[in-house]
Amino acid sequence: MIEYDPLTEGYMLCAVFAEPSRVWEVRQIIRETDFAVPRNAAMFSIMCDVADRGDTVSPITVNDRKIAAGRTHEFTDAYTHEVNGLEARGYQAMQYAEIVRRHGERRKLHEAATGIQALAAAGDAEGDIVEKAAGLIADLRDGTLRQSRPIGAAFSGLVEEMSTTAPFTPTPWPSLNAMIGGIRPGSLYTVAARSGGGKSIFGLQLALHIAELGKRVGYVSLEMTEKDLLKRLISMMQGIHQSALQNHQLTEQGWASVRDAEAAVQSLPLEVFDRPGARWEDVIGFARALHRKGDLGLLVIDYLGLVKSPPGSVSRQQDLEDWANGGKQLAKELGCSVLILEQLNRNMTNRPNPRPIVSDLRGSAGLEHASDAVVLMHRGEKKIGGRVVKTSDVDFIVAKNRQGEAATRTLRFEGQFARIVQKEHETTALIEQEEV
């Protein structure tokens, strides 16, 4: 184990007692988990609690708060005064905190390395050991604070990025691009529709487009099997009617088209995860595995409502919100775009106007908050021969848009070919006057 003098932690705590305002600077550098000595970690936690309550950090307020919080067993009143008597100065707090942080990082790295060695020794008995090891490293990264820096330090990197990298990758639909620009790395997008409303077609068509551009795509399919998706891809790419593929009633020309599609699909960097009953950690593991292969451009989750809650979960709503926030964090961590597909609540059909609004999203609070753009798909209905049928028009309602204004565009739904296309005559302007 790495040599370390735990007395350094005491000097840092003493420096905060000497100049209480330093607690705000120190907590930007270290966390409770960075301490090697449990009673020092507990005292730092209570110091932060005292400061958050608007009180001055001192041995008296710390001991009082310790009693009020029921934490008297973690350290004695005498120890608080012992730490205060170490004769550290307030201006030294940051220096000591940096030492504590560096040691905490090394100690947690050592623990992660020990865990990885244990996984390697266990071998196949531990399942996907590479993903488990990646999880240990991810936990280490998440548990470590990084010091802030002046915003100007990022200027050169921004200029280089603006000079060499396009901010968006366009989608296959110019109408949608006119509203949201396209998809960008580090961003989370939510697309929702009623059951059978085309959200899976949207997700697969976007995945195909990004893969054809040469970027790796991961498709988490919790509703359809890999073979179901492949049939849709063939229909989408070759214009073969869905019923012919689903019922295995292909003509000679149809079989020729299937063989053409096979050659094209074989070269696509598109990978599918279709394990039923998958949990969120399975989705994360799949995404990180793809990221290690390089050039991950898009992750599609179809659909969030089918992710299985962990054992002991007490709130499905909270699970959905946690996964929405996790999707955004994953996009930033891996530098890719994440598309979450979700269903709209059924009760929206009871309203006089059935057009969806953002509150119709299942798990709407978390998804709306975390997403950079929320697109609601809506197909109208009309009566033909006394029957109510859906129209071929599909409205893309951008209910939230961090990169622009909320707006609506209308495209054409070709369910028989599993695709959504631009209308021959665009009825909504691609660029409105106020958007120029």
- Report d(CA 283, CA 277) in Å as an integer: 11
- Report d(CA 336, CA 73) in Å as an integer: 46
> In the beta sheet, which residues pair with residue 420?
413
What global pTM score does this model have? Answer: 0.68
For position 425, what pLDDT does the model report? 61
**Same domain? 185 vs 252:** yes
Residue-range definition of the domain harbouring residue 294:
167-435
**Same domain? 215 vs 128:** no
111 belongs to a structural domain: yes
Q: How many domains does the chain have?
A: 2
- Half-sphere exposure of residue 26, counting CA atoms within 13 Å on the CB side? 32
**Same domain? 200 vs 138:** no
Among 119, 148, 177, the domain-final residue is 148
CATH number for the domain spanning 184: value is: 3.40.50.300
Closest alpha carbon to 399 in 245, 228, 192, 246: 192
SS3 340: strand
- Report d(CA 418, CA 244) in Å as an integer: 12
- The DSSP output letter for 305 is G
**Same domain? 144 vs 171:** no
Name the phi and psi angles at 370, rounded to 5. -80, -25
CATH number for the domain spanning 93: value is: 1.10.860.10
Calculate ∠ Cα 44-45-49, nearest 5°: 115
**Same domain? 316 vs 355:** yes
Q: In Å, how far are 188, 241, 333, 366 from 326, measured between CA atoms?
A: 10, 38, 10, 10
**Same domain? 322 vs 355:** yes
Which tens digit of pLDDT belongs to each residue from 91-142?
A: 999 999 999 998 988 888 888 888 888 888 876 655 567 767 776 676 666 6
Helix axes 129-142, 280-293, angle to 10 degrees: 100
For position 68, what pLDDT does the model report? 94
Structure tokens at 123: 């071998």
**Same domain? 283 vs 413:** yes
**Same domain? 262 vs 365:** yes
155 belongs to a structural domain: no
| DSSP secondary structure of 346-379 | GGGGGSSS----GGGBTTHHHHHHH-SEEEEEEE
The DSSP element (H or E) to which 389 belongs, if any, is strand 387-401
> In the beta sheet, which residues pair with residue 244?
none
For position 27, what pLDDT does the model report? 85
> In the beta sheet, which residues pair with residue 302?
221, 341
160 belongs to a structural domain: no
- Report d(CA 336, CA 296) in Å as an integer: 6
Task: Judge whether 178 and 409 are in contact, CB under 8 Å.
Answer: yes
**Same domain? 193 vs 246:** yes
Q: In whole angstroms, how large is the CA radius of gyration of the chain?
A: 27
The DSSP element (H or E) to which 106 belongs, if any, is helix 93-122
For position 434, what pLDDT does the model report? 42
**Same domain? 137 vs 206:** no
Task: Judge whether 288 and 139 are in contact, CB under 8 Å.
Answer: no
The contacts of residue 150 (CB under 8 Å, 6+ apart) are none
205 belongs to a structural domain: yes
For position 357, what pLDDT does the model report? 86
Which tens digit of pLDDT belongs to each residue from 174-203?
A: 999 989 989 999 999 999 998 888 899 999
**Would you put residue 390 in left (φ > 0), alpha (ψ -120 to 50) or beta?**
beta
**Same domain? 4 vs 107:** yes
428 belongs to a structural domain: yes
**Same domain? 80 vs 208:** no
158 belongs to a structural domain: no
For position 364, what pLDDT does the model report? 63
For position 292, what pLDDT does the model report? 85
Residues (pLDDT < 50) of the chain are: 1, 429-436
46 belongs to a structural domain: yes
153 belongs to a structural domain: no
